[in-house]
Amino acid sequence: MSPVVLLLIGIGAVLGGILWLRLHAFLALTLAAFVVGFLTPRENLLHHWEVEKKESIEVAGKLADQSVGKRIAEGFGRTCAKVGLIIAMAAIIGTCLLESGAADRIVRSALKLCGEKRAPYALSGSSFILGIPVFFDTVFYLMIPLAKALASRTGKNYLLYVLAIIAGGSMTHSLVPPTPGPLLVAGELGVDLGEMIIGGLTVGIFGMMGGFVYARWANNRWPMDVRGSEDLTTEDLKTMANRTDDELPNLWLSLAPTLVPVILIAGYSLIKQVFGDEPSEGQQELLSVLAALGDKNLALTLGAGMALWLLTKSGAKKGKELVDAIRKSLGSAGSIILITGMGGAFGGILQQTGIGSEVSAWVDGSGMGLTGILLIAFFVTVVIRIAQGSATVAMITAVGIVGGIIEPNGEYWIGYVALAIGCGAKPFPWMNDSGFWVVGRLAGFTEGETLKTFSCIISLLGIIGIAVTLLLANLWPHFIF
């Protein structure tokens, strides 16, 4: 059976499971993995292991004769080993930042630094930082009361404040680990996590700035008064607004759980590049220490430890409340780990069909080279995103399709492909996306207003992101690495 047909069957199984059968994303991905695994002929498996993975004939034969269940389980375990601990620790960091008031402190400090006139920049910058360990829906829930309070005080710019939050928080959600989508994509493509963070932040900043252009235009075109919502009552707004600065943690302590892991992971990658291929004895010792501290699992665990200490010190949660808060965050992380792990397994099953060779041959025939690979990665993710709604599912499905055509031959930085997939997870969010309803409901927008504001700015962020990625890839194929 043709790899392209198997690919279409796999995508159809995921979409059908989510949209028609209303299955949880984990179950839909599991169903698709078993369907494609059973239908993949042995000759496709042999081709994958011999030609694409360069295994010997004997080894390829043994791998091709493995049962479908074993192949899926191995892919699931491999992916969980890469991302499981990181996702759990990131969930703890996010919960502790919210519950301790640290996230509130970051936002308030940014507003004080920038002033009321530059409030949109403060809101966007704060959500950009918080979006690294905290999921976009949660970031928006945290930030929307501030947007409403500011708009009530100034009597204008409500839409600008809302879109500024979206522009910042959305970019890091799909481009900067340890959020699950970019974390899995980086792992599957073999991109150094520190390098992925640096690349994601670079493209994300450009996308966020571009989003401001649309935000200001939309704010002038459709001026809005402050809107109420069922999910955010007046009492909720008063409770959050009435917290005094004395009740909130110190700014640097608030930033530490997020910034320390990012600095450790990205710092090791940067210093390694600065020292070059032949570091001196002293530099090698320093690199050894930084390699240990910059390990993604240790760095995130240190961040989680800081966040837990911060929550305990704040006194916001004590005893059973503290335990319940952490248990709730880990419960949410468990669901995400299941989805991400099975997404990696499904991607592995897709690659075993030989789809990589098919797509690679098409790219070579088109003569587009790296640009062609990046555009394929982008548009494949866009199609899956529009069809089923979830940006994370779109990313983990797309990397399974695109991963087979990537050859780490040193001609270009593989991270560009990961960034292209992250940008493709943006266009076009509509009624099948949970974020669409979260933003519309909390901001008080109608469905039509949500489409022309939230959906349009998110799509624009993705388009700007892929344009920046293509430009960087053609000007500096190896980026800064």
Express each pLDDT in 383-426 by its tens digit: 888 877 788 888 988 888 888 777 766 788 999 999 999 999 99
Dump the DSSP string for 401-451.
HHGGG----SSS-THHHHHHHHHHTSS---TT-HHHHHHHHHHT--HHHHI
Q: Tokens standing for 280?
A: 């001196």
Express each pLDDT in 61-81 by its tens digit: 988 899 999 999 998 998 888
Mean of all residue pLDDT scores within the chain:
85
Q: Please state, in angstroms and rounded to a whole number, the distance separating the CA atoms of residues 246 and 306.
A: 20
Model pLDDT, residue 232: 47
What does the radius of gyration of the chain's CA atoms come to, in whole angstroms? 23
Q: Please state, in angstroms and rounded to a whole number, the distance separating the CA atoms of residues 183 and 447.
A: 31
On whether the CB atoms of residues 97 and 257 are closer than 8 A, the answer is yes
Express each pLDDT in 264-280 by its tens digit: 888 888 888 777 777 88
Which residue from 81, 84, 176 is spatially nearest to 135, judged by alpha carbons? 176
On whether the CB atoms of residues 415 and 374 are closer than 8 A, the answer is no
Q: Tokens standing for 295?
A: 């390990």
* pLDDT above 70 (res 331): yes
Side chain identity at 345, as an amino acid letter? Answer: A
Q: Please state, in angstroms and rounded to a whole number, the distance separating the CA atoms of residues 17 and 478.
A: 39
* pLDDT above 60 (res 217): yes
- Give the pTM: 0.80
* pLDDT above 80 (res 434): no
Q: In the structure, what pLDDT confidence band is assigned to residue 239 with cuts at 50, 70 and 90?
A: low
Cis peptide before 120 (omega within 30 of 0): no
Residue 232 three-state SS: coil
Fill in the DSSP letter of residue 247: G
Q: In the structure, what pLDDT confidence band is assigned to residue 368 with cuts at 50, 70 and 90?
A: low
Model pLDDT, residue 156: 85
Residue with tokens 């940008």: 423
Q: Please state, in angstroms and rounded to a whole number, the distance separating the CA atoms of residues 423 and 174.
A: 7
Q: Please state, in angstroms and rounded to a whole number, the distance separating the CA atoms of residues 130 and 344.
A: 26
